[in-house]
């Protein structure tokens, strides 16, 4: 009985943190929770691990809020905090949680997942034959990590496909080169931004300056497809390169510190040259800030498919037991005032990927080909 009281106390602590001061109805629900735990302990057919069960209950409370909030027990939290660079391999995908299964936000270019044909919007229902349903996002991510060179089998459900897809992938150390740049036919500057890490804006402006000094392109393509996002500061810096003035993005949350507005500084680095931004379902978070702001200010034509719709900011908050929670603390809003969350950015020109052989930045890339046609005619 002492263990049940302790578990119920922890649940009170978590629900109080989530929903503010308790009230009579909440206390009744917590009493009911304790009663259910007691019934399970006495009458459930198998022995249970009460610690695991309360972890699941806490995580369930958090995941009921949104797909990005989650609980990490002390073991998982510690492993997340520890630098394991070079020891573990990954797949190269940004993931979230939806309907109890892992949803691929974006496969990162030139990573094992991308090469295996994993696509944005895919649902991972099994990992090495084990059901994902019932697992937390953090637990599922941990299952996907492993020694470099080891195999992992993913069972995937994809919209439009009747049968589940099986993907066998070899884990690798994921190293992302965030910026790719080249001059395409008829002197179009192509800038591909794969992620928003700490050096992305610096790398991007170096490429732009190099093009402007040597090639003097007649226009540019900024490719944000399959870019899962990253640092807000980098999204602001990148957007600022293409604007002379105006708001870039605002964030709003419960606390005053989360309510902020960010504005462009004078100086369009392209000096008003034509700009097309490419997005798809794998363009998320910081990518959506850039595309949405440039669209709202009519500085660029946005082309491709509707973006993912991840317009929220998460903070990792340590807990007294050595674990932690990842909690959504604010949301992004575009200059127009519109929210990105679960809506995404709609392109000015909708061009869907065509053909089974479609690959970004290859001759089969019909979206890029269409953008080049617009810029050169």
The residues annotated with a catalytic role in the active site are: 285, 296, 310
Q: Other CB atoms closer than 10 Å to residue 176's CB: what's the count?
A: 15
Torsion-angle region of 368 (φ positive above 0: left; ψ -120 to 50: alpha; else: beta) = alpha
Distance of CA 90 to the CA centre of its chain: 16
* Concatenated DSSP letters of 169-236: EE-B------EEEEEETTTEEEEEE--B-TTHHHHHHHHHHHHHHHT--SEEEEE-TT---B-HHHHH
Alpha carbons 289 and 233: distance in angstroms, whole number: 11
What size, in residues, is the chain? 377
Alpha carbons 184 and 374: distance in angstroms, whole number: 14
Torsion-angle region of 24 (φ positive above 0: left; ψ -120 to 50: alpha; else: beta) = alpha
Q: Are 340 and 288 in contact (CB under 8 A)?
A: yes
Radius of gyration in angstroms for the set of CA atoms belonging to the chain, rounded to a whole number: 23
**Alpha carbon separation from 256 to 252, 301, 308, 326 (Å, rounded):** 8, 34, 27, 19
Q: 18: which residues sit within 8 A by CB, 6+ positions away?
A: 61, 62, 65
Alpha carbons 59 and 76: distance in angstroms, whole number: 13
């Amino acid at each position: 009985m002492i263990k049940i009281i302790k578990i119920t106390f922890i649940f009170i602590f978590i629900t109080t943190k989530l929903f503010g001061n308790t009230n009579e109805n909440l206390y009744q629900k917590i009493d009911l929770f304790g009663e259910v735990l007691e019934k399970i302990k006495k009458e459930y057919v198998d022995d249970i691990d009460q610690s695991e069960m309360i972890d699941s209950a806490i995580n369930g409370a958090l995941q009921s809020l949104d797909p990005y909030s989650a609980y990490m027990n002390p073991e998982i939290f510690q492993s997340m905090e520890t630098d394991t660079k070079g020891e573990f391999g990954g797949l190269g995908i940004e993931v979230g949680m939806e309907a109890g299964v892992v949803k691929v936000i974006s496969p990162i270019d030139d990573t094992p997942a991308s090469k295996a044909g994993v696509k944005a919007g895919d649902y991972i229902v099994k990992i090495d034959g084990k059901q994902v349903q019932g697992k937390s996002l953090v637990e599922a991510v941990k299952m996907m990590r492993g020694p470099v060179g080891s195999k992992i089998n993913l069972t995937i459900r994809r919209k439009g496909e009747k049968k589940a897809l099986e993907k066998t992938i070899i884990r690798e150390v994921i190293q992302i080169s965030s910026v790719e740049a080249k001059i395409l036919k008829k002197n179009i500057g192509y800038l591909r931004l794969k992620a928003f890490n700490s050096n992305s804006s610096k790398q991007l402006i170096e490429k732009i300056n190099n093009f402007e000094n040597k090639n003097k392109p007649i226009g540019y393509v900024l490719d944000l497809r399959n870019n899962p996002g990253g640092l807000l500061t980098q999204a602001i810096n990148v957007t600022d390169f293409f604007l002379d003035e105006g708001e870039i993005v605002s964030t709003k949350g419960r606390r005053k510190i989360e309510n902020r507005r960010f504005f462009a500084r004078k100086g369009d680095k392209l000096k008003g040259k034509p700009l097309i931004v490419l997005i798809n379902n794998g363009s998320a978070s910081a990518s959506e800030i850039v595309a949405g702001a440039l669209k709202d200010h009519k500085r660029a034509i946005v082309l491709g498919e509707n973006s993912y719709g991840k317009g929220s900011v998460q903070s990792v908050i340590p807990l007294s037991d050595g674990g932690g929670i990842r909690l959504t603390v604010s949301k992004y809003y575009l200059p127009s005032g519109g929210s990105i969350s679960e809506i995404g950015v709609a392109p000015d020109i909708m061009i869907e990927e065509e053909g089974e052989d479609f690959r970004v930045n290859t001759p089969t890339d019909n979206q890029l080909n269409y953008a080049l046609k617009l810029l050169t005619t």
